[in-house]
Amino acid sequence: MLRVGLTGGLASGKSFVGHALAELGCYLIEADKLGHEVMLPGAEAYDAIVREFGRGILDPGGLIDRPKLSALVWDHPERLEKLNSLVHPAVRAREERRMAEVAQGDPHAIAVVAAAILVETGSYRNFDKLIVVTCTAEQQMERALKRGSYSKEEILARLSRQLPLEEKLRVADYVIDTSGPKESTLEQVRIVYESLRSLSV
């Protein structure tokens, strides 16, 4: 099985590229979704997060209110580090389990793990190939604002904490530029997929 990392900056088009690869036949594992799962009541990280950050982060149904939690950690690097230390190991364990299942079911599979901080954490080294998705800083801002999850200040704060794109591009095996029309992005995805397919047989 071929293990492929997929990363890029905030709102750079990772999800779009990941889903396009999945449509072509890759197995997509999204770290962000796994992050949501491990924070659900009864899941691996829930109790530890509530212990650490208090019951004030819970909504009336007992779920962790992610915007509330986010507001507590973004301006405090040590709190963010603590949160990451509670969430990331559980996410990585789920990723590994999912990849093992994929490999068992299809030894020639291409498993793509989409995650924002593969390069920052050094975990990109655990993959056979790394795809980095890129677009202009203006487009990142525009796309992130359009999603409506964060204010301009929060987006700038997040961007400032991510490794500069040049650093990520330095370790990329493939680069997909999403700054043009969707058709152009999909054509780049197809070319990358063909290359990965030739390596996975």
At residue 77, the pLDDT reads: 83
**In the chain, where the domains are located:** 1-26+109-201, 33-100
At residue 96, the pLDDT reads: 93
Sheet holding 27-30, edge to edge: 27-30, 110-114, 2-8, 129-134, 174-177
Question: How far is the C-alpha of 109 from the C-alpha of 197, rounded, in Å?
Answer: 9
Question: How far is the C-alpha of 91 from the C-alpha of 86, rounded, in Å?
Answer: 9
Where is pLDDT greater, at 116 or 6?
6
At residue 152, the pLDDT reads: 81
Question: How far is the C-alpha of 11 from the C-alpha of 150, rounded, in Å?
Answer: 11
Burial pattern 144-161, b for ≥16 Cβ within 10 A else e, equals beeeeebeeebbeebbee
Contact 150, 108 (CB under 8 A): no
Contact 132, 172 (CB under 8 A): yes
In the chain, the amino acid numbered 19 is H
Structure token digits, residue 184: 């152009």
Residue 164 phi, psi dihedral angles, 5° rounding: -55, 145
At residue 17, the pLDDT reads: 98
At residue 190, the pLDDT reads: 98
**pLDDT, tens digit (0-9, with 9 covering 90-100), for 31-86:** 999 999 999 999 999 999 999 999 999 999 999 998 899 888 877 889 988 999 99
**pLDDT, tens digit (0-9, with 9 covering 90-100), for 117-166:** 899 888 999 999 999 999 988 898 888 888 876 778 777 777 777 788 88
Domain 1-26+109-201 class in CATH: alpha beta
Contact 21, 6 (CB under 8 A): yes
Q: Give the residue-averaged pLDDT of 180-195.
A: 97
At residue 45, the pLDDT reads: 97
At residue 133, the pLDDT reads: 97
DSSP string, 47-63: HHHHHHH-GGGB-TTS-
At residue 156, the pLDDT reads: 79
Question: Can you list the alpha helix ranges (DSSP code H) found in 106-178?
Answer: 118-121, 137-147, 152-161, 165-170
